[in-house]
Chain A
Amino acid sequence: MALQSLDIKQRSATTTPAPQARQTVEIAKLIDVSACIGCKACQVACMEWNDVRDEVGSCHGIYDNPVDLTENSWTVMRYAEVEEQGKLEWLIRKDGCMHCSDPGCLKACPAPGAIIQYANGIVDFHQENCIGCGYCVSGCPFNVPRISKKDSKAYKCTLCSDRVAVNQAPACAKACPTGAIQFGSKEDMKDYAEKRIADLKERGYEKAGLYDPAGVGGTHVMYVLHHADKPDLYSGLPVNPSISPMVALWKGATKPLAALALAGVALGSLFHYVMKGPNEVSKEIEKEVEKEDAQ
Protein backbone atom coordinates (compact mmCIF):
# COMPACT_ATOMS: atom_id res chain seq x y z
CA MET A 1 0.00 0.00 0.00
CA ALA A 2 1.29 3.38 -0.94
CA LEU A 3 1.42 5.46 2.18
CA GLN A 4 0.92 9.14 2.75
CA SER A 5 -0.58 10.34 -0.51
CA LEU A 6 -1.43 13.40 1.56
CA ASP A 7 0.96 14.70 4.20
CA ILE A 8 -0.19 14.04 7.74
CA LYS A 9 -0.41 16.74 10.37
CA GLN A 10 -1.88 14.79 13.28
CA ARG A 11 -2.95 11.22 13.93
CA SER A 12 -5.22 10.18 16.79
CA ALA A 13 -3.61 8.53 19.86
CA THR A 14 -0.19 8.61 18.23
CA THR A 15 2.79 10.16 19.97
CA THR A 16 5.23 9.73 17.08
CA PRO A 17 5.35 13.08 15.30
CA ALA A 18 4.50 13.13 11.59
CA PRO A 19 6.97 14.62 9.11
CA GLN A 20 6.37 18.36 9.07
CA ALA A 21 8.95 19.81 6.66
CA ARG A 22 6.89 19.88 3.46
CA GLN A 23 4.58 22.83 2.95
CA THR A 24 1.39 22.01 1.07
CA VAL A 25 -1.56 24.18 0.15
CA GLU A 26 -4.22 24.57 2.82
CA ILE A 27 -7.62 23.96 1.21
CA ALA A 28 -11.13 24.99 2.17
CA LYS A 29 -14.73 24.62 1.13
CA LEU A 30 -16.82 27.78 1.22
CA ILE A 31 -20.58 27.47 1.59
CA ASP A 32 -22.34 30.64 0.55
CA VAL A 33 -25.65 30.29 2.37
CA SER A 34 -27.04 33.32 0.52
CA ALA A 35 -26.65 31.53 -2.86
CA CYS A 36 -28.07 28.17 -1.79
CA ILE A 37 -31.47 27.18 -3.18
CA GLY A 38 -31.68 24.00 -1.10
CA CYS A 39 -31.85 21.64 -4.09
CA LYS A 40 -29.85 18.91 -2.28
CA ALA A 41 -27.65 18.11 -5.30
CA CYS A 42 -24.74 18.13 -2.83
CA GLN A 43 -26.45 15.48 -0.69
CA VAL A 44 -27.01 13.23 -3.70
CA ALA A 45 -23.53 13.80 -5.17
CA CYS A 46 -22.01 12.96 -1.78
CA MET A 47 -23.83 9.63 -1.56
CA GLU A 48 -23.07 8.85 -5.19
CA TRP A 49 -19.33 9.49 -4.83
CA ASN A 50 -18.90 7.84 -1.45
CA ASP A 51 -21.00 4.77 -2.29
CA VAL A 52 -23.36 5.19 0.63
CA ARG A 53 -27.15 5.11 0.41
CA ASP A 54 -29.49 6.07 3.19
CA GLU A 55 -32.78 4.37 3.88
CA VAL A 56 -35.80 5.97 2.27
CA GLY A 57 -37.36 7.89 5.12
CA SER A 58 -40.75 9.49 5.59
CA CYS A 59 -41.91 13.07 5.32
CA HIS A 60 -41.73 14.95 8.60
CA GLY A 61 -43.65 17.93 7.29
CA ILE A 62 -40.46 19.89 6.64
CA TYR A 63 -37.98 20.02 3.80
CA ASP A 64 -35.15 18.46 5.85
CA ASN A 65 -34.70 14.98 4.45
CA PRO A 66 -33.17 13.11 6.21
CA VAL A 67 -33.86 15.20 9.29
CA ASP A 68 -30.41 14.60 10.74
CA LEU A 69 -26.94 13.47 9.70
CA THR A 70 -26.56 9.69 9.65
CA GLU A 71 -23.73 7.26 8.98
CA ASN A 72 -24.86 7.31 5.33
CA SER A 73 -25.86 10.97 5.01
CA TRP A 74 -22.63 12.85 5.65
CA THR A 75 -24.21 16.14 4.68
CA VAL A 76 -27.80 17.36 5.09
CA MET A 77 -29.56 20.58 4.26
CA ARG A 78 -31.13 22.29 7.25
CA TYR A 79 -34.00 24.66 6.51
CA ALA A 80 -34.80 27.39 9.04
CA GLU A 81 -37.67 29.84 8.77
CA VAL A 82 -36.82 32.96 10.77
CA GLU A 83 -38.13 36.49 11.00
CA GLU A 84 -35.39 39.07 10.67
CA GLN A 85 -35.79 42.81 10.22
CA GLY A 86 -39.54 42.32 10.01
CA LYS A 87 -39.54 39.89 7.10
CA LEU A 88 -39.59 36.15 6.74
CA GLU A 89 -36.30 34.57 5.71
CA TRP A 90 -35.64 31.02 4.67
CA LEU A 91 -32.12 30.19 5.76
CA ILE A 92 -30.80 26.98 4.21
CA ARG A 93 -27.57 25.63 5.61
CA LYS A 94 -25.61 22.65 4.34
CA ASP A 95 -24.60 20.86 7.52
CA GLY A 96 -21.66 18.48 7.83
CA CYS A 97 -18.10 18.20 9.09
CA MET A 98 -16.36 21.57 9.43
CA HIS A 99 -12.81 20.11 9.24
CA CYS A 100 -11.55 22.16 12.20
CA SER A 101 -7.90 23.16 12.48
CA ASP A 102 -8.12 22.00 16.09
CA PRO A 103 -10.34 18.93 15.74
CA GLY A 104 -12.13 17.87 18.92
CA CYS A 105 -12.85 14.42 17.46
CA LEU A 106 -9.16 13.72 16.88
CA LYS A 107 -8.24 14.99 20.34
CA ALA A 108 -10.81 12.74 22.00
CA CYS A 109 -10.09 9.63 19.89
CA PRO A 110 -8.26 6.86 21.79
CA ALA A 111 -7.74 4.56 18.76
CA PRO A 112 -4.36 5.04 17.05
CA GLY A 113 -4.82 6.13 13.46
CA ALA A 114 -8.62 6.19 13.47
CA ILE A 115 -8.71 9.97 12.89
CA ILE A 116 -6.15 11.76 10.73
CA GLN A 117 -5.63 15.42 10.09
CA TYR A 118 -3.85 16.03 6.81
CA ALA A 119 -1.54 18.98 6.24
CA ASN A 120 -4.06 20.46 3.78
CA GLY A 121 -6.62 20.71 6.60
CA ILE A 122 -8.83 17.67 5.94
CA VAL A 123 -9.86 15.68 9.01
CA ASP A 124 -10.52 12.11 7.91
CA PHE A 125 -11.82 9.01 9.69
CA HIS A 126 -10.17 5.65 9.03
CA GLN A 127 -12.86 3.15 9.84
CA GLU A 128 -10.44 0.19 9.79
CA ASN A 129 -8.77 1.63 12.91
CA CYS A 130 -12.00 2.80 14.55
CA ILE A 131 -13.05 0.94 17.71
CA GLY A 132 -16.54 2.48 17.77
CA CYS A 133 -16.22 4.05 21.23
CA GLY A 134 -18.06 7.23 20.19
CA TYR A 135 -15.60 9.63 21.86
CA CYS A 136 -15.38 11.59 18.59
CA VAL A 137 -19.13 12.26 18.84
CA SER A 138 -18.76 13.83 22.30
CA GLY A 139 -15.54 15.56 21.25
CA CYS A 140 -17.11 17.29 18.23
CA PRO A 141 -18.33 20.86 18.89
CA PHE A 142 -20.63 20.63 15.84
CA ASN A 143 -22.23 17.22 16.62
CA VAL A 144 -21.22 15.67 13.30
CA PRO A 145 -19.85 12.10 13.54
CA ARG A 146 -22.37 9.25 13.52
CA ILE A 147 -21.81 5.64 14.58
CA SER A 148 -23.05 3.07 12.08
CA LYS A 149 -25.50 0.50 13.36
CA LYS A 150 -24.14 -1.92 10.77
CA ASP A 151 -20.45 -2.00 11.74
CA SER A 152 -20.30 0.18 14.91
CA LYS A 153 -17.77 2.51 13.33
CA ALA A 154 -17.85 6.28 13.08
CA TYR A 155 -18.56 7.99 9.74
CA LYS A 156 -18.63 11.60 8.55
CA CYS A 157 -17.72 13.83 5.61
CA THR A 158 -14.18 13.19 4.34
CA LEU A 159 -14.12 16.44 2.32
CA CYS A 160 -13.62 13.85 -0.45
CA SER A 161 -10.01 13.31 0.64
CA ASP A 162 -9.73 10.73 -2.16
CA ARG A 163 -10.68 13.35 -4.75
CA VAL A 164 -8.65 16.16 -3.21
CA ALA A 165 -5.60 13.85 -3.14
CA VAL A 166 -5.76 13.75 -6.97
CA ASN A 167 -6.51 17.48 -7.23
CA GLN A 168 -10.26 17.20 -7.77
CA ALA A 169 -12.91 19.23 -5.96
CA PRO A 170 -15.19 17.45 -3.47
CA ALA A 171 -18.26 15.86 -5.09
CA CYS A 172 -20.68 18.33 -3.44
CA ALA A 173 -18.73 21.38 -4.59
CA LYS A 174 -18.52 20.04 -8.14
CA ALA A 175 -22.23 19.32 -8.36
CA CYS A 176 -23.62 22.56 -6.83
CA PRO A 177 -25.62 24.19 -9.67
CA THR A 178 -25.79 27.68 -8.10
CA GLY A 179 -22.16 27.87 -7.08
CA ALA A 180 -23.11 28.10 -3.42
CA ILE A 181 -20.33 25.61 -2.65
CA GLN A 182 -16.89 26.79 -3.73
CA PHE A 183 -13.63 24.90 -3.29
CA GLY A 184 -10.02 26.03 -3.43
CA SER A 185 -7.13 27.15 -1.27
CA LYS A 186 -8.23 28.60 2.07
CA GLU A 187 -6.74 31.94 1.08
CA ASP A 188 -8.69 32.07 -2.19
CA MET A 189 -11.88 31.08 -0.41
CA LYS A 190 -11.45 33.94 2.06
CA ASP A 191 -10.98 36.36 -0.84
CA TYR A 192 -14.06 35.01 -2.58
CA ALA A 193 -16.04 35.30 0.67
CA GLU A 194 -14.98 38.92 1.04
CA LYS A 195 -16.50 39.77 -2.35
CA ARG A 196 -19.71 37.97 -1.50
CA ILE A 197 -19.93 39.73 1.87
CA ALA A 198 -19.38 43.14 0.25
CA ASP A 199 -22.21 42.33 -2.17
CA LEU A 200 -24.52 41.25 0.65
CA LYS A 201 -23.74 44.38 2.65
CA GLU A 202 -24.59 46.48 -0.37
CA ARG A 203 -27.94 44.71 -0.52
CA GLY A 204 -28.84 45.57 3.07
CA TYR A 205 -27.37 42.70 5.04
CA GLU A 206 -25.14 44.87 7.18
CA LYS A 207 -24.11 42.04 9.49
CA ALA A 208 -23.04 39.71 6.66
CA GLY A 209 -19.78 37.94 7.38
CA LEU A 210 -17.60 34.86 7.23
CA TYR A 211 -18.01 31.97 9.66
CA ASP A 212 -14.53 30.62 10.38
CA PRO A 213 -14.71 30.18 14.18
CA ALA A 214 -11.51 30.86 16.10
CA GLY A 215 -12.59 28.62 19.01
CA VAL A 216 -11.58 25.57 16.98
CA GLY A 217 -8.61 27.26 15.31
CA GLY A 218 -10.62 28.11 12.20
CA THR A 219 -12.30 25.58 9.95
CA HIS A 220 -11.77 24.20 6.46
CA VAL A 221 -15.47 24.40 5.73
CA MET A 222 -16.54 28.02 6.04
CA TYR A 223 -19.89 29.75 5.64
CA VAL A 224 -20.85 33.11 4.20
CA LEU A 225 -23.77 34.16 6.40
CA HIS A 226 -26.15 37.08 5.88
CA HIS A 227 -26.44 37.32 9.68
CA ALA A 228 -22.92 36.52 10.83
CA ASP A 229 -23.71 38.10 14.21
CA LYS A 230 -26.36 35.43 14.83
CA PRO A 231 -25.06 32.07 13.52
CA ASP A 232 -27.61 30.25 15.69
CA LEU A 233 -30.36 31.42 13.34
CA TYR A 234 -29.00 28.89 10.83
CA SER A 235 -30.49 25.78 12.50
CA GLY A 236 -28.33 26.15 15.58
CA LEU A 237 -24.89 26.83 14.16
CA PRO A 238 -22.78 27.32 17.34
CA VAL A 239 -21.87 30.95 18.09
CA ASN A 240 -18.57 30.14 19.78
CA PRO A 241 -17.75 26.50 19.13
CA SER A 242 -15.04 25.01 21.33
CA ILE A 243 -13.92 21.56 22.34
CA SER A 244 -15.57 20.24 25.51
CA PRO A 245 -13.30 20.75 28.58
CA MET A 246 -13.85 17.06 29.38
CA VAL A 247 -11.76 16.15 26.32
CA ALA A 248 -8.92 18.37 27.53
CA LEU A 249 -9.24 16.84 31.00
CA TRP A 250 -9.17 13.29 29.69
CA LYS A 251 -6.35 13.77 27.20
CA GLY A 252 -4.55 16.71 28.85
CA ALA A 253 -4.37 15.85 32.56
CA THR A 254 -5.89 12.44 33.27
CA LYS A 255 -3.84 10.47 30.81
CA PRO A 256 -0.33 11.62 31.82
CA LEU A 257 -1.34 11.48 35.50
CA ALA A 258 -2.54 7.91 35.10
CA ALA A 259 0.64 7.04 33.23
CA LEU A 260 2.67 8.64 36.03
CA ALA A 261 0.74 6.68 38.65
CA LEU A 262 1.33 3.48 36.71
CA ALA A 263 5.03 4.19 36.37
CA GLY A 264 5.13 5.01 40.13
CA VAL A 265 3.57 1.67 40.98
CA ALA A 266 6.06 -0.16 38.76
CA LEU A 267 8.99 1.72 40.24
CA GLY A 268 7.71 1.23 43.80
CA SER A 269 7.36 -2.51 43.28
CA LEU A 270 10.89 -2.64 41.93
CA PHE A 271 12.26 -0.78 44.96
CA HIS A 272 10.22 -3.00 47.26
CA TYR A 273 11.67 -6.08 45.59
CA VAL A 274 15.25 -4.72 45.89
CA MET A 275 14.90 -3.57 49.49
CA LYS A 276 12.70 -6.28 50.99
CA GLY A 277 12.98 -9.09 48.49
CA PRO A 278 10.28 -11.64 47.84
CA ASN A 279 7.83 -12.47 50.60
CA GLU A 280 9.37 -15.32 52.61
CA VAL A 281 7.25 -17.90 54.33
CA SER A 282 8.83 -19.21 57.50
CA LYS A 283 9.50 -22.94 57.75
CA GLU A 284 7.20 -23.25 60.77
CA ILE A 285 4.20 -21.80 59.04
CA GLU A 286 4.86 -23.96 56.00
CA LYS A 287 4.91 -27.07 58.19
CA GLU A 288 1.70 -26.03 59.90
CA VAL A 289 -0.02 -25.52 56.60
CA GLU A 290 1.20 -28.90 55.35
CA LYS A 291 -0.13 -30.50 58.50
CA GLU A 292 -3.52 -28.89 57.96
CA ASP A 293 -3.55 -30.02 54.34
CA ALA A 294 -2.74 -33.57 55.36
CA GLN A 295 -5.71 -33.79 57.73
Chain B
Amino acid sequence: MISQIFSLAFLAQTIRITVPYSLASLGGVYSERGGVVNIALEGIILNGAFCATVGTYYTGSPWFGLLCGIAGGLLVAAIHAAISIHVKADQIISGIALNLFAVGITKFVLEILFQSSSNSPRIAGLPYIKLGFIKDQPDVAHLLGNPLVLLTVLIVVASHFIIFKTRFGLRLRSVGENPEAADTVGINVTSYRYYGVLISGVLAGLAGAWLAFDQHSFTDGMSAGRGYIALAAMIVGKWNPLGAAAACLLFGFAESLQIQLQGGTLPTQFIQMIPYLATIVVLAGFIGKSVAPGADGIPYEKEK
Protein backbone atom coordinates (compact mmCIF):
# COMPACT_ATOMS: atom_id res chain seq x y z
CA MET B 1 0.00 0.00 0.00
CA ILE B 2 2.83 2.39 0.88
CA SER B 3 4.47 1.96 -2.50
CA GLN B 4 1.13 2.52 -4.14
CA ILE B 5 0.71 5.81 -2.30
CA PHE B 6 4.20 7.15 -2.78
CA SER B 7 4.35 6.52 -6.48
CA LEU B 8 5.34 8.74 -9.37
CA ALA B 9 1.66 9.53 -9.82
CA PHE B 10 1.50 10.65 -6.21
CA LEU B 11 4.48 12.92 -6.74
CA ALA B 12 2.81 14.37 -9.81
CA GLN B 13 -0.40 14.94 -7.88
CA THR B 14 1.50 16.74 -5.11
CA ILE B 15 3.24 18.99 -7.61
CA ARG B 16 -0.02 19.72 -9.43
CA ILE B 17 -1.49 21.02 -6.18
CA THR B 18 1.64 22.75 -4.93
CA VAL B 19 2.42 24.86 -8.00
CA PRO B 20 -0.54 27.27 -7.80
CA TYR B 21 -0.24 27.46 -4.00
CA SER B 22 3.41 28.40 -4.26
CA LEU B 23 2.94 31.03 -6.93
CA ALA B 24 0.13 32.73 -5.03
CA SER B 25 1.94 32.38 -1.72
CA LEU B 26 5.05 34.04 -3.15
CA GLY B 27 2.81 36.78 -4.45
CA GLY B 28 1.62 37.24 -0.88
CA VAL B 29 5.23 37.44 0.30
CA TYR B 30 6.05 40.29 -2.11
CA SER B 31 2.91 42.21 -1.29
CA GLU B 32 3.11 41.87 2.49
CA ARG B 33 6.86 42.37 2.68
CA GLY B 34 6.06 45.74 1.16
CA GLY B 35 3.39 46.35 3.77
CA VAL B 36 0.15 45.62 1.93
CA VAL B 37 -2.01 42.76 3.21
CA ASN B 38 -3.18 40.91 0.14
CA ILE B 39 -6.24 38.88 0.91
CA ALA B 40 -7.28 39.63 -2.68
CA LEU B 41 -5.04 36.75 -3.82
CA GLU B 42 -8.16 34.62 -4.13
CA GLY B 43 -9.78 37.03 -6.58
CA ILE B 44 -6.51 37.49 -8.46
CA ILE B 45 -6.22 33.74 -8.98
CA LEU B 46 -9.81 33.50 -10.18
CA ASN B 47 -9.52 36.38 -12.61
CA GLY B 48 -6.15 35.07 -13.79
CA ALA B 49 -7.73 31.70 -14.55
CA PHE B 50 -10.61 33.31 -16.37
CA CYS B 51 -8.48 35.63 -18.51
CA ALA B 52 -6.10 32.78 -19.35
CA THR B 53 -9.05 30.67 -20.51
CA VAL B 54 -10.57 33.42 -22.61
CA GLY B 55 -7.21 34.37 -24.13
CA THR B 56 -6.44 30.80 -25.06
CA TYR B 57 -9.92 30.07 -26.40
CA TYR B 58 -10.03 33.00 -28.80
CA THR B 59 -6.47 32.86 -30.10
CA GLY B 60 -5.82 29.15 -29.77
CA SER B 61 -2.46 30.00 -28.28
CA PRO B 62 -1.92 28.90 -24.66
CA TRP B 63 1.15 31.16 -24.50
CA PHE B 64 -0.99 34.16 -25.32
CA GLY B 65 -3.51 32.83 -22.80
CA LEU B 66 -0.78 32.72 -20.20
CA LEU B 67 -0.04 36.40 -20.82
CA CYS B 68 -3.77 37.13 -20.53
CA GLY B 69 -3.79 35.29 -17.19
CA ILE B 70 -0.96 37.47 -15.93
CA ALA B 71 -2.72 40.59 -17.18
CA GLY B 72 -5.95 39.50 -15.48
CA GLY B 73 -4.11 39.05 -12.20
CA LEU B 74 -2.34 42.37 -12.60
CA LEU B 75 -5.62 44.15 -13.15
CA VAL B 76 -7.14 42.98 -9.86
CA ALA B 77 -3.85 43.62 -8.04
CA ALA B 78 -3.67 47.13 -9.47
CA ILE B 79 -7.14 47.91 -8.16
CA HIS B 80 -6.17 46.52 -4.75
CA ALA B 81 -2.97 48.57 -4.79
CA ALA B 82 -4.77 51.77 -5.70
CA ILE B 83 -7.37 51.27 -2.99
CA SER B 84 -4.81 50.29 -0.34
CA ILE B 85 -1.95 52.62 -1.14
CA HIS B 86 -3.56 55.66 -2.73
CA VAL B 87 -6.96 55.80 -1.09
CA LYS B 88 -5.49 54.26 2.10
CA ALA B 89 -8.65 52.23 2.66
CA ASP B 90 -8.78 49.15 4.86
CA GLN B 91 -6.83 46.47 3.03
CA ILE B 92 -8.85 43.54 4.33
CA ILE B 93 -12.09 45.08 3.17
CA SER B 94 -10.64 45.95 -0.22
CA GLY B 95 -9.43 42.37 -0.54
CA ILE B 96 -12.75 40.81 0.39
CA ALA B 97 -14.60 43.17 -1.93
CA LEU B 98 -12.32 42.26 -4.83
CA ASN B 99 -12.72 38.56 -4.13
CA LEU B 100 -16.49 38.84 -4.24
CA PHE B 101 -16.26 41.06 -7.29
CA ALA B 102 -14.06 38.52 -9.10
CA VAL B 103 -16.60 35.74 -8.48
CA GLY B 104 -19.39 37.87 -9.91
CA ILE B 105 -17.63 39.38 -12.89
CA THR B 106 -16.11 36.13 -14.13
CA LYS B 107 -19.47 34.40 -13.96
CA PHE B 108 -21.13 37.34 -15.70
CA VAL B 109 -18.69 37.46 -18.60
CA LEU B 110 -18.68 33.66 -18.79
CA GLU B 111 -22.42 33.79 -19.41
CA ILE B 112 -22.05 36.47 -22.09
CA LEU B 113 -19.18 34.80 -23.93
CA PHE B 114 -20.09 31.14 -23.61
CA GLN B 115 -23.77 31.13 -22.60
CA SER B 116 -22.97 29.07 -19.55
CA SER B 117 -22.85 30.13 -15.94
CA SER B 118 -20.80 27.14 -14.85
CA ASN B 119 -17.95 26.45 -17.24
CA SER B 120 -16.14 27.43 -20.42
CA PRO B 121 -15.52 25.24 -23.46
CA ARG B 122 -12.37 23.14 -23.45
CA ILE B 123 -9.06 24.91 -24.09
CA ALA B 124 -5.66 23.59 -25.02
CA GLY B 125 -3.04 23.21 -22.30
CA LEU B 126 0.51 24.52 -22.39
CA PRO B 127 2.91 22.50 -24.55
CA TYR B 128 5.17 20.36 -22.39
CA ILE B 129 8.79 19.42 -22.49
CA LYS B 130 9.23 15.76 -23.46
CA LEU B 131 10.86 13.82 -20.65
CA GLY B 132 12.45 10.66 -22.03
CA PHE B 133 12.65 8.77 -18.76
CA ILE B 134 8.90 8.57 -18.18
CA LYS B 135 7.26 6.56 -20.96
CA ASP B 136 4.49 4.51 -19.45
CA GLN B 137 2.61 7.29 -17.63
CA PRO B 138 1.72 10.07 -20.08
CA ASP B 139 -0.20 12.07 -17.45
CA VAL B 140 2.82 12.23 -15.21
CA ALA B 141 5.10 13.06 -18.13
CA HIS B 142 2.83 15.92 -19.17
CA LEU B 143 2.82 17.36 -15.71
CA LEU B 144 6.51 17.10 -14.92
CA GLY B 145 7.33 18.45 -18.37
CA ASN B 146 5.11 21.49 -17.88
CA PRO B 147 7.26 24.60 -18.31
CA LEU B 148 5.33 26.30 -15.49
CA VAL B 149 6.63 23.72 -13.01
CA LEU B 150 10.19 24.60 -13.87
CA LEU B 151 9.32 28.30 -13.88
CA THR B 152 7.81 28.03 -10.40
CA VAL B 153 10.95 26.43 -9.01
CA LEU B 154 13.03 29.19 -10.60
CA ILE B 155 10.75 31.90 -9.21
CA VAL B 156 10.94 30.43 -5.70
CA VAL B 157 14.72 30.36 -5.67
CA ALA B 158 15.05 33.73 -7.39
CA SER B 159 12.62 35.30 -4.94
CA HIS B 160 14.81 34.33 -2.03
CA PHE B 161 17.68 36.26 -3.60
CA ILE B 162 15.48 39.14 -4.69
CA ILE B 163 13.98 39.65 -1.24
CA PHE B 164 17.15 39.23 0.79
CA LYS B 165 20.10 40.01 -1.44
CA THR B 166 19.12 42.79 -3.80
CA ARG B 167 18.60 46.51 -3.53
CA PHE B 168 14.97 46.07 -4.54
CA GLY B 169 14.36 43.49 -1.81
CA LEU B 170 16.07 45.55 0.89
CA ARG B 171 13.96 48.58 0.00
CA LEU B 172 10.77 46.55 -0.28
CA ARG B 173 11.34 45.09 3.19
CA SER B 174 12.13 48.48 4.69
CA VAL B 175 8.92 49.90 3.27
CA GLY B 176 6.92 47.09 4.82
CA GLU B 177 8.67 47.21 8.18
CA ASN B 178 9.08 50.93 8.80
CA PRO B 179 7.93 53.15 5.94
CA GLU B 180 8.86 56.31 7.82
CA ALA B 181 12.46 55.15 8.11
CA ALA B 182 12.47 54.28 4.41
CA ASP B 183 11.06 57.70 3.57
CA THR B 184 13.76 59.51 5.52
CA VAL B 185 16.51 57.86 3.49
CA GLY B 186 14.85 58.94 0.28
CA ILE B 187 13.00 55.78 -0.69
CA ASN B 188 9.69 56.28 -2.47
CA VAL B 189 7.36 54.30 -0.21
CA THR B 190 4.39 54.50 -2.57
CA SER B 191 6.28 53.11 -5.57
CA TYR B 192 7.76 50.20 -3.69
CA ARG B 193 4.39 49.27 -2.22
CA TYR B 194 2.94 49.31 -5.73
CA TYR B 195 5.75 47.09 -6.98
CA GLY B 196 5.06 44.55 -4.21
CA VAL B 197 1.33 44.35 -4.89
CA LEU B 198 1.76 44.28 -8.68
CA ILE B 199 4.27 41.42 -8.44
CA SER B 200 1.72 39.53 -6.37
CA GLY B 201 -0.76 40.13 -9.22
CA VAL B 202 1.62 38.61 -11.76
CA LEU B 203 2.38 35.58 -9.59
CA ALA B 204 -1.17 34.85 -8.44
CA GLY B 205 -2.36 35.47 -12.02
CA LEU B 206 0.09 32.76 -13.11
CA ALA B 207 -1.38 30.51 -10.42
CA GLY B 208 -4.81 31.09 -11.94
CA ALA B 209 -3.53 30.32 -15.42
CA TRP B 210 -2.08 27.07 -14.11
CA LEU B 211 -5.50 26.04 -12.78
CA ALA B 212 -7.17 26.81 -16.10
CA PHE B 213 -4.62 24.90 -18.16
CA ASP B 214 -4.57 22.01 -15.73
CA GLN B 215 -8.31 21.60 -16.06
CA HIS B 216 -8.43 22.68 -19.72
CA SER B 217 -11.34 25.01 -18.94
CA PHE B 218 -12.63 27.65 -16.61
CA THR B 219 -15.26 26.68 -14.08
CA ASP B 220 -17.21 28.99 -11.83
CA GLY B 221 -15.35 29.76 -8.59
CA MET B 222 -12.46 27.47 -9.53
CA SER B 223 -9.97 29.24 -7.23
CA ALA B 224 -11.84 27.41 -4.44
CA GLY B 225 -10.11 29.03 -1.50
CA ARG B 226 -6.57 28.55 -2.81
CA GLY B 227 -5.75 32.21 -2.23
CA TYR B 228 -6.51 31.85 1.45
CA ILE B 229 -4.48 28.68 1.76
CA ALA B 230 -1.62 30.46 0.01
CA LEU B 231 -1.85 33.22 2.62
CA ALA B 232 -1.77 30.63 5.40
CA ALA B 233 1.30 29.07 3.79
CA MET B 234 2.94 32.49 3.63
CA ILE B 235 2.41 32.95 7.36
CA VAL B 236 3.59 29.42 8.17
CA GLY B 237 6.62 30.19 6.01
CA LYS B 238 7.25 33.36 8.01
CA TRP B 239 6.96 35.63 4.98
CA ASN B 240 10.08 34.02 3.47
CA PRO B 241 9.96 32.77 -0.13
CA LEU B 242 11.60 29.43 0.66
CA GLY B 243 9.53 28.98 3.79
CA ALA B 244 6.30 29.78 2.00
CA ALA B 245 7.13 27.35 -0.81
CA ALA B 246 8.00 24.63 1.70
CA ALA B 247 4.68 25.20 3.47
CA CYS B 248 2.87 24.96 0.13
CA LEU B 249 4.65 21.70 -0.59
CA LEU B 250 3.48 20.38 2.78
CA PHE B 251 -0.10 21.44 2.07
CA GLY B 252 0.13 19.91 -1.40
CA PHE B 253 1.46 16.69 0.06
CA ALA B 254 -1.31 16.50 2.67
CA GLU B 255 -3.96 17.19 0.09
CA SER B 256 -2.78 14.56 -2.37
CA LEU B 257 -2.47 12.09 0.50
CA GLN B 258 -6.09 12.80 1.21
CA ILE B 259 -7.00 12.15 -2.44
CA GLN B 260 -4.95 8.91 -2.50
CA LEU B 261 -6.49 7.55 0.65
CA GLN B 262 -10.06 8.10 -0.45
CA GLY B 263 -11.92 4.90 -1.22
CA GLY B 264 -9.71 3.00 1.19
CA THR B 265 -10.69 1.49 4.48
CA LEU B 266 -10.63 4.68 6.54
CA PRO B 267 -13.84 6.72 6.69
CA THR B 268 -13.72 9.63 4.21
CA GLN B 269 -14.57 12.16 6.90
CA PHE B 270 -11.31 11.43 8.67
CA ILE B 271 -9.32 11.45 5.47
CA GLN B 272 -10.69 14.82 4.51
CA MET B 273 -9.36 16.20 7.76
CA ILE B 274 -5.75 15.42 6.87
CA PRO B 275 -4.76 18.72 5.21
CA TYR B 276 -6.32 20.75 7.98
CA LEU B 277 -4.85 18.63 10.75
CA ALA B 278 -1.46 18.93 9.10
CA THR B 279 -1.86 22.71 9.05
CA ILE B 280 -2.79 22.88 12.71
CA VAL B 281 -0.02 20.54 13.80
CA VAL B 282 2.58 22.44 11.83
CA LEU B 283 1.36 25.81 13.04
CA ALA B 284 1.15 24.77 16.66
CA GLY B 285 4.12 22.50 16.91
CA PHE B 286 7.02 23.22 14.64
CA ILE B 287 7.05 26.72 13.32
CA GLY B 288 7.35 28.86 16.41
CA LYS B 289 6.39 32.48 16.34
CA SER B 290 5.76 33.97 12.95
CA VAL B 291 6.03 37.74 12.99
CA ALA B 292 4.46 39.84 10.26
CA PRO B 293 6.31 42.81 8.77
CA GLY B 294 5.98 45.77 11.14
CA ALA B 295 3.82 47.97 8.95
CA ASP B 296 1.88 45.17 7.24
CA GLY B 297 -1.63 46.40 6.54
CA ILE B 298 -1.01 49.95 7.72
CA PRO B 299 -1.31 52.72 5.12
CA TYR B 300 1.56 55.21 5.14
CA GLU B 301 0.66 58.78 6.04
CA LYS B 302 3.43 61.10 5.02
CA GLU B 303 2.62 64.33 6.84
CA LYS B 304 1.76 63.56 10.41
Tell me if chain B binds chain A.
no
B interface vs A, CB < 8 Å? Answer: none
